[in-house]
Amino acid sequence: MLYRQRKLDLPHGELDTPVLFPVRNVGKRSSDNTPKYVGTIPEFSAAMINARSIRNRDPMWNRLTNGVALREEMDVPEDTIIFADSGGFDFSEQEIDTTPEKTIKTQQKLDSDIHGTIDIPLSRENRAAENQRRIDRSIEFALEASDLHTGDALLFASVHGYDPETIRNNIQYLENRGDFDGYALGSMVPIRTDYKKVTKLVLAARNATEKHLHVYGLGGLVYQPLLLYLGVDSFDSSAFIRSAGNRNYLIPGFGGEELHNIEDLDRLPCPCPICGQRSLEDIREDRTALTQHNLWALATELRRFKYIAESDRDVENYLDLRFQGNEVTRRAYETAKQQVRRLT
């Protein structure tokens, strides 16, 4: 397997990887309604934020440019690690309204530890010429950001590609012409149900660089063990918020379960600090609690994989069991396993 552990030395402290960056919705709404988790879930001392959304929220941006620190605005400790992406996912539907210089100045103002370069997700309509144009522009934006970067934070180049060869070539091109601390693989969310394709693209990126590899938007319960197995260093997810909004309860080792399907239970199957002392009815009526539980579920999935890997148990045997209940993900894992075995 390609699983690995490392440590990032960042302006606001050290960060052990592999790690999940929970997506915060600060800037997307008038106030950040992500429930408190920093300081309560030990491995989640980090957050993914959208630099564009914060800059475009005038009252918030005015406060930040008039002396309020981002971490104060978010009500998180000063040592919280922040990864600020460009907000590129919004560009899949909207015109690009930023430049590398504007984005990197925003990220510096937000005092983020990791800057993601501007990325333009590939079109869902799979138009080859348009997608190549988007790939080329993302590369140009990354190289401009490299020239502007002052080294005060890590810079991850955002990379897109519709096949493994394109991914490999783009990373090698950027590696030869820019100065990046790592790479962030995008355009995965629209194809997330095509597990085989996603795992092939991720593996191509992993093979193209020894530097830090982040995957945008895939950090839910099912993808976590696959990404860890493929050697991904970090990923981000808003699944805990979206699932709670749909009254979907995340169960480590399984996946999501709609609460109305288990309404005959008195107690929920997870003994986390949120569920352990509360009834199913309590959790059902408290969306904040459900969101917090879902984060604990993601933490449990991550801890479980680390335990298997670090206790010298056979990770592939664990994953054989982990994916046996879903034919689609099992086939994707089997494909990934064959590819990984040829590399190790």
The whole-angstrom distance between residue 16's C-alpha and the CA centroid of its chain comes to 15
Strand partners, 48: 23, 83
Q: Which residues of the chain have pLDDT under 50?
A: none
Evaluated on CA atoms 88, 166, 151, 9, the torsion sign reads positive
Binning the chain into helix, strand and coil, the percentages to the nearest 5 are 45, 15, 35
Q: What is the pLDDT of residue 31?
A: 63
Q: What is the pLDDT of residue 126?
A: 64
Q: What is the pLDDT of residue 255?
A: 84
CATH number 3.20.20.105 given to 1-343 = yes
* Residue of 311, 241, 277 lying closest to 34 (CA atoms): 241
- Beta carbons of 179 and 117 less than 8 angstroms apart: no
From start to end of the chain, where are the E strands?
6-10, 13-17, 19-22, 46-50, 81-85, 114-116, 154-159, 182-185, 212-215, 234-237, 248-251, 255-258
- Beta carbons of 57 and 70 less than 8 angstroms apart: no
Residue 259 DSSP one-character state: G
